[in-house]
Chains A and B, each alone.
Chain A
C-alpha cells in the first residue's frame, strides 16, 4: 500500500535567501543514533533469515520422512512462506543499509556545519544563536577606505558562507535521494513533494480505480474461500460420524464374538476412515486459514477504497 508523507524539515528549509542569517548548528537526531536504528532493522532481517531457513527445512522434508497429500499440502505452504519471508528479509536488509548510509550523510552534514561555523568565526563574522549574521547593509557616507575594505571583505566572507551552506544543503538532499528511493523500493512509502525528481517514476503506485476494482475482487475471493472452508468443515464432520459408527460396529462384532475375518475387515475400515479424517482435517485447517486471510484482505481493500472514494 502506498503511503504519502510530506517532510516538514525539507519544507521549512527552502527559503534561505542571500542576506538572511545562516544556520550553522546541527540540531537533528545524532547521526550515531540514526546508524543504530539502521542496525536494528538489519538485526531484524537476520532474525527473519532464521524463519526463512526454518520454512525451507519444512518445505524440503523428504518423501521418506513425510508422504501423502497432507504432507504435500504442508510442503506447499512452507514453500510459499519461504518465498514471502525471503522477500521481507531482503527488504529489511535493503532499508537497514539505506538508513546506515543515510546516517553517514547526516554525519558529513554535521561536520560541514562545524567547519562553516569555524570559518565564519575565523573571518570575524558575527556568530550568535547558532547563526552566522550578515554584515551591516550600508556604510555611512563618510566611512574611511579602511572601513570600506573591511565591509567588503566581510560581505565576501558572508557570501562564501552562504554558498557553502547552499552546497551543504544540496549535497545532503542529493544523498537523500538514495534513502527515498530505498523507502519506495523496500517499504512502498513515498514523499509527495518533489515527487518527480525524488521517486522513480511509477514505482509501486496504486491508482484510485485500481483500488476499487481490487476491493471488489478481494470481496469475491473472500466469499469463495469462505465457501471452501465451510465445505471442508462439512467433510470433516461427515467423516467423524462415519468413523464413530464404524468403531461402534467393531465393538459390537468383538462383543458378539464374530468370526476374526469379519473383525479384521471392520478394523481395516476404521483405519482407512481415520486416515481420511486426518487428511480432511489438514485440508480444513488450510481452507480456514485461506478464508481468514482472504477476508482480512477484502476488509483492507474495502477500507482503502472507502478512504479514497
Chain B
C-alpha cells in the first residue's frame, strides 16, 4: 500500500467541475426539440438523434457517479484526519499522566 498524499482543494475543484458539467448537460438535453412536421427521412433522423441523446444522458449520469466517488474520497479522508488527531491527543494526554 502506497502512502496517501492528498490535496483536498484540487479534489473538490475536480468534483465541482463534474457537477457543473452535469448541470449544463442536463439543461441542454431539455433543449432538444424533435420536429413534429414531416420531411424526408424525418423518422430515421429523429430515431438517430434520440439514440445519441440517450448516450448523452448516460454521460450526465457518469458525471454524477464519478462526482459522488470523488466526494466520498474527500469525506473519508476528513474522517481519517480527525481520527489520527484524536488518537494523538489521547496518547499525548496519557504521556502527561504517567510518571
B-binding residues in A (CB < 8 A): 1, 3, 5, 7-10, 28-30, 33-34, 37, 40-41, 43-44, 46-48, 50-51, 53-55, 57-58, 61, 63-71, 74, 77-78, 81, 84-85, 88, 91-92, 95, 99, 102, 106, 172, 176, 179-180, 183, 186-189, 191, 250, 254, 257, 259-260, 263-264, 267-268, 270-271, 274-275, 278, 281-282, 285, 289
A residues within 8 A CB of B43?
Answer: 5, 7-8
Give the one of B18, B25, B52 with max A CB within 10 A.
B52
A residues less than 8 Å from B58 (CB atoms): 84, 88
Q: A81 to B47, Cβ gap below 8 A?
A: no
> What is the distance, in angstroms, from B33's C-beta to the closest C-beta of chain A?
7
Interface residues of B in 1-19 (CB under 8 A from A): 1-7, 10-11, 14, 17-18
Query: Are B40 and A28 in touch, CB under 8 angstroms?
Result: yes
Residues of chain A lying within 8 A (CB to CB) of residue B59: 48, 51, 81, 84-85, 88
Do A28 and B37 touch across chains, with their CB atoms under 8 A apart?
yes
On chain A, the residues within 8 Å of B28 by CB distance are 43-44, 46-47
Are the C-beta atoms of A187 and B90 separated by less than 8 Å? no
- Classify the secondary structure of B's interface with A: helix
B37–A275 contact, CB under 8 A? no
Which residues on the B side are within 8 Å of A66 (C-beta)?
5-7, 10-11, 73
Q: Is the CB of B21 within 8 A of A282?
A: no
Minimum CB–CB distance for A98 against chain B, Å: 9
When chains A and B are docked, how far (Å) is the Cα of A58 from the Cα of B67?
9
Q: A7-B40, A53-B17, A281-B76 are in contact. List 4 more A-B contacts (CB 8 A).
A: A55-B66, A58-B17, A189-B47, A264-B87
Contact A191-B44, Cβ < 8 Å, known A260-B95, A270-B83: yes
Known interface pairs A40-B33, A189-B47, A254-B90; A67-B41 also in contact (CB < 8 Å): no
The reply to whether A260 and B94 form a contact with Cβ atoms under 8 Å apart is: yes
Partner of A58, one of B3, B29, B70, B90: B70
- Distance in angstroms from B29 CB to nearest chain A CB is 7
Contact partner of A54 among B18, B44, B49, B52, CB < 8 A? B18
Given known A88-B56, A183-B44, A282-B73, contact A47–B90 (CB-CB < 8 A)? no
Interface contact B83-A64, CB-CB below 8 Å: no
**Given known A48-B25, A81-B66, A270-B87, contact A92–B7 (CB-CB < 8 A):** no
Flag if A81 contacts B62 (CB, 8 Å): yes
Q: Which partner residue on chain B sits nearest A44 by CB separation?
A: B28
Known: A48-B25, A48-B56. A260 touches B91 (CB 8 A): yes
CB contact list, B35-63 vs A, under 8 A: 35, 37-45, 47-49, 51-53, 55-56, 58-60, 62-63
Q: How far is the CA of A67 from the CA of B20 in the complex (A)?
A: 25
Docked Cα-Cα span, A5 to B51, in Å, equals 14
Alpha-carbon gap, A74 to B15, bound state (A): 12
Q: Which residues of A contact B62 (CB under 8 A)?
A: 51, 55, 81, 84-85
